[in-house]
Amino acid sequence: MAKLIPVEGEMYNVTPTDGKKFHLEQLQTLLGGDIEILPAFAAGYCLVVLEDGKRLNLLVNDVASALSRFPLDPIVGPALYCSREHID
């Protein structure tokens, strides 16, 4: 199970379209653009974020930032938190 973490509001569960793995197109649709994958603090997990979030001056995502392996470099915009094995 993966969690979509919006900047504001509650996070919610999302599942891959095929029931197994998130593919690039689904990730881009969920997050609203080109993505990048960052390591999360928990082993085997990652955060999928918008590649241009900082350039676009998106708001800081405090929840996603707390889950990041790099807490001094805040995550901006929406993020998907999931197991690495669920990314194609």
Q: In what order do the strands lie in the sheet with 12-14?
A: 12-14, 2-5, 79-83, 45-50, 35-39
pLDDT at 12: 96
C-alpha 7: how far from chain center: 11
Residue 72 has pLDDT above 90, yes or no: no
* CB distance 86 to 22 below 8 Å: yes
pLDDT at 1: 77
The Cα 84–Cα 21 span in angstroms is 9
Q: What mean pLDDT comes out for the span 38-42?
A: 94
Residue 83 has pLDDT above 80, yes or no: yes
Average pLDDT, the chain: 95
Residue 37 has pLDDT above 80, yes or no: yes
pLDDT at 33: 96
Domains of the chain, residue spans = 2-86
The Cα 11–Cα 64 span in angstroms is 10
